[in-house]
Amino acid sequence: MKTMLIKCGWLVSLDDGVGDIQAGELLIQGDRIAAAGRNLGATADETLDATGMIVMPGLVHAHIHTWQSGLRGIGGEWTSPDYHLNVHGNLSTRYGPEDNYLGNLVGALNQINGGVTTILDWCHNLTSLEMAERSVDGLEEAGIRAVFAHGTAKPPTPPGGVPYTHIPHPRDRVEALRKGRFASNDQLLTLGLALLGPQYSTWEVFEHDIRLAREFGLVSTSHATRRNADAITSEGYIRLAKAGLLGPDHNIVHANYLSDEELTTAVHSGASFSATVLTEMHGHAADPVTLRVRAAGGMPSLGIDIETVVTGEFWREMQAALLHGRFASHRINAAAGNKPFTTIPVRSREALQWATLGGARALMMEDKIGSLKPGKKADLVMLRMSDLNLVPVHDPVGSIVEQANAGNVDSVMIGGEFRKRGGELLYPEAQLSKRVAALAESAARIMRDGGFTVTRA
């Protein structure tokens, strides 16, 4: 089994037992971290000089619709109804298996390039097993660690037809995937279910879908973007908790409008929450839930959601989550008539935890990823400390959270294998050019077939 000793400029582990160590060392054995500390005295097959780098855990991106990569930026001035009308009501219906493959491949490579080692791919335009399989092919080819969250399409209801809100998750597809390429839980790609959830389905459908996920031992996740008055099943998470069906294996996304009772019930039941701060600040009036989840005793996770509307760069999502948390804390404190804070209300390290450990917890992978702890998978990122926007590095956590961007990512390791090294993706350049060109052609055809043109005021 190959070993590698990494000599770090700064080692930011996010593990209490290891800490942050200037001139720290990391020993990699196979796909796992064997040791972390100072002056390990270890011999290895390869010694890597990363003394000019911050070495940190890979970012864990807990919510992204990767299939939409070809539609980047077309909805930067859309409202939420515009998104649902244009994407789910039109463009998504033009997708086929190869379109999903290209979107997932290029989208996943972009995430790796920017320092993300794990994603939850919320793939909710699937109409067949073939389409699901090709979507997974794209993730697999990219080499990313991912939960492939199998979702279902949300087309307009045909005359006399059954609306998608009343259609249970397809058991045959789930069974085929789980007994096929997802039979093992100890691989880079694992299976999850992207469910309609109570706000977008009847209670009968939601209960069926949750039980289906539980039967196959899968993480499930649902959107919660509606106010209670607009939800198909009002207070559905409370009802689920009372039925004993809500726990750590369920993840709730965009919970901005949940009542305090429903959110607290879900947190205390062990459910996780994902905030997509950039998207939510773009299209919603209610605050992202980071502070409310934190106050209830939970740890939020983060995602960018849709590249049709916002950037896919996860560093910007982490920075936005931090700044929103601070701004909202100041606003709430002032509204209560209190004196200004004498210490900052949300620390930078906490935002970094949301972007790593919080995501790992949401994906039920906290024992594998999210920190650089001996025994965990060797998923890590190296940032160049000499880059003009980072030098000099006085505090590595502050540099990571408040100063860094995707351009600072020098190297990315996933499961002990480099996927990016020395600033270059380790994916064949000629092949990447072909795939990118094919993605552009795919997007052009989809928009042409849908009669869609990009317009801005």
Same domain assignment for residues 40 and 67? no
Whether residue 446 lies inside any domain: the answer is: no
Last residue of a domain, one of 362, 392, 414: 362
Q: Would you say residue 438 lies in a domain?
A: no
Residues 326, 388: one domain? no
- pLDDT of 455 reads 87
- Counting as low any pLDDT under 70, the low residues of the chain are none
Q: What is the pLDDT of residue 375?
A: 98
pLDDT in tens, 230-269: 999 999 999 999 999 999 999 999 999 999 999 999 999 9
Same domain, 53 and 65: no
* Whether residue 322 sits in one domain with residue 421: no
d(CA 99, CA 212): 28
Q: Look at phi and psi of residue 254 and say left if phi exceeds 0, alpha if psi is from -120 to 50, else beta.
A: left
Q: What is the pTM of this model?
A: 0.97
* Within a domain: 449: no
Cα–Cα distances (Å) from 29 to 81, 223, 260, 419, in that order, read 49, 39, 45, 17
* 232 in Cβ contact with 165 (< 8 Å): yes
Q: Are 273 and 198 in a shared domain?
A: yes
**What are the tens digits of pLDDT across the range 269-324?**
999 999 999 999 999 999 999 999 999 999 999 999 999 999 999 999 999 999 99
**Placement of tokens 């020993």 in the chain:** 27
450 domain-assigned: no
Q: Which domain CATH number covers 179?
A: 3.20.20.140
- Quote the domain boundaries for residue 156: 59-362
- Based on the fold, state whether residues 229 and 137 are members of the same structural domain: yes
pLDDT at 344: 97
Using only the alpha carbons of the chain, give its radius of gyration: 22
| Domain containing residue 52: CATH number | 2.30.40.10
Do residues 259 and 338 share a domain? yes
| Amino acid 366: pLDDT | 98
* 362, 301 Cβ separation under 8 angstroms: yes
> How many domains are there within the chain?
2
Report strand pairing: 417-421 vs 301-302. Answer: unpaired
Residues 396, 316 within the same domain: no
